[in-house]
Structures are given as structure tokens and as C-alpha cells.
Amino acid sequence: MFFLNVKRIWKSGFVSFWRNGVVSLSAVLVMVVALFMIGSTILLSAVLEDSLTTLKEKVDINVYFAQDATDEEIQGFIKGLEALPEVSAVEYITRDQALMDFKERHANDQLTLQALDEVGDNPLLAYINVKADDPAQYQGIYTQIESPGALSPIERDIIYKVNYEEERNQRAIERLSLAIAGFQKVGFAIVIIFILTAALITYNTIRLTIYVSREEIAVMRLVGAENNYIRGPFIAEGVFYGIVGGILTIALFYPLTVWVEQGTSSFWGGLNLFDYYLSNFFQITVIVLLSGIVLGATASYMAVRKYLSI
């Protein structure tokens, strides 16, 4: 009997959803807008988080060694540096490798290459790129590098110069972090506004449906129908609003992410939004559909409760 009643409730909700085509369409379209904002917030948050990660990865310390520094001395310095717990990676570029990289970067600049040939000997210095686990740890690593004899037992100073733009790097990271935090707050506020709007439209749509079906409801109450049996079809109708709205929203994201990726790939070298959408398709679909179902069901429940006073 229970399953039979459930079947009847869902069938009645679907019939009402289908019969009130224009009204249902308006509720679904508003639902799509609200769910689209939820999905967009997820995608944009992923883009900004990837931007912050990329920026952090670009921060490093470059240590250039004197021309007369031997490979043994440099390797000893690197071992001392790698022993620091804050250091995640050290990349060593020899003078020969630095020269090859320089020629590759200026392959189309014949004037620069000609000037390099006139110099004769390799004028470039060997250097290392130092990466930390956390950008906040770079200052401590920089202090260790600048301290004489802190990382190597050799007596003479083999370091020519150290490039570390701590203030600029830290400022860039802080600005992007603040931008992400600000976006999340603004995005959350916008999502709440659209959710409330969608809930209000759904609420009024269900109230209109109840009004149209008032005689049928009166008969059901007269014959002793339970409150849940009366309420059920309207909640099911709200759930259908959410399901259809969620499906349309997910379908919209496919061409949108393709268009965004094609339109921004020439100047945006970060996260591939389309690949992210496909790899997280299941999670995004679940979030959007569940949001639509909860939104539709909640708005419908409140409308029935308010209107019928049951």
C-alpha cells in the first residue's frame, strides 16, 4: 500500500508538472538561473584556486654562483640546501646548460647571438632554482643562503648574487588570495540571492497550482485523505522543477566551457576549464541536481504548508 501511494503521488506530481506547461516552464527557467550560478561559482573558484597555485609555483629563489666556483663546491652547497626541511626542490643549471637555454630563447635574435659569439667564452653563470613547500618559508631559506658558511663548509664565498623578490611575490600572492576570498563572498551572496528568487518563484508557482486544484483538494480532504497524501504531489512537482532545471543547467555548461576554453586559451595558460568540467562532471552534476531538488522540494513544502494550513 505504501509503495502504491508513493507511486500515485509521483504520478500525480508529474501530471501536474506536465499539464501546467507555461507555469512549469517559468519555474524551471528561474531554477536554471539559480543552479547556473551555483555551478559557475564552482568552476570560477577552481580557476582562481589554480591561478593561486600557479603563482605560488612561480615563486622561487635564484642563486647564481661565481665563475670560478667548482662543481664540487656547488654540489656541496646544494646538499646543504636540500637538507633544510623547508626546501621542496632544488634545480641545478650548469653554465653550459644556461648557455644552451639562452641560445634557444634568442634563436630568432641574430644580433644577440652574434654578440655572444664575439665574446668567445661562456659569459653565463651556473645557478640553482630553489622551491619551498610554502611561500611563507622563502624568507627563512633566503636568510640561510645569505648567512656565510650556513649551508656549506667551504671557507670562501662562491655565491655571486641571489635573486629573491620577496616583497613583490608576497604582495602578488596576498592580492590574489584576497581576490579569491572576495570572489567567494560575492559569489556566495549572488548565489543566495538567486536561490531565494528561485525559491520565491517556485513557492508562488506551487501556490498557483494549489489554487487551480483547490476543488480537488477540498474533495480529498472531505474523504479523509491524509495530509502527506495531499502535500505529496505538490512536493513531487517541485522536485521535478529541480530535476529538469538541473539537467538543463548541466547541459548548458558543456558548450559554455568549450566556448570559454577556446576563447581564452590564447592568453590563459592556466586551468583547462573544459577538462576540469569533464573530469568533475559527476560531482558537479550531483551538486547541481541535489541543489535543484532540495530547492524545489523545500519551496513546495512551504507553499503547501502556508496555503493549506495543514
Residue 127 bridge partners (DSSP): 64, 93
150-171 b/e (C-beta count within 10 Å ≥ 16 → b)? ebbeeeeebbeeeebeeeebee
* Euclidean distance between CA atoms 303 and 293, whole angstroms: 15
67-157 CATH choice from 3.30.70.3040, 3.20.20.80, 2.60.120.260, 1.20.1730.10? 3.30.70.3040
Predicted local confidence at residue 170, as pLDDT: 64
Strands (E), the chain: 61-65, 87-93, 127-132, 159-163
Q: Crossing angle for the helix pair 214-222 and 166-212, nearest 10 degrees?
A: 70
Domains of the chain, by residue range, sit at 2-55+171-308, 67-157
Q: Which whole number is the average pLDDT over 275-293? A: 88
State how far the alpha carbon of 84 is from the alpha carbons of 137, 145, 247, in Å.
Answer: 11, 11, 52
* 277 band by pLDDT with thresholds 50, 70 and 90: confident
The dihedral region occupied by 161, where left means phi > 0, alpha psi between -120 and 50, and beta the remainder, is beta
Residue-wise pLDDT tens digits, 137-174? 777 888 888 776 666 666 557 888 888 765 566 676 66
Predicted local confidence at residue 2, as pLDDT: 61
Q: Does the model's pTM come out above 0.75?
A: no
Q: Which whole number is the average pLDDT over 114-139? A: 78
Residue 63 vs residue 152, higher pLDDT: 63
Ranked by mean pLDDT, the top range of 50-54, 91-95, 114-118 is 91-95
Pick from 159-168, 248-257, 272-281, 291-300: least confident: 159-168
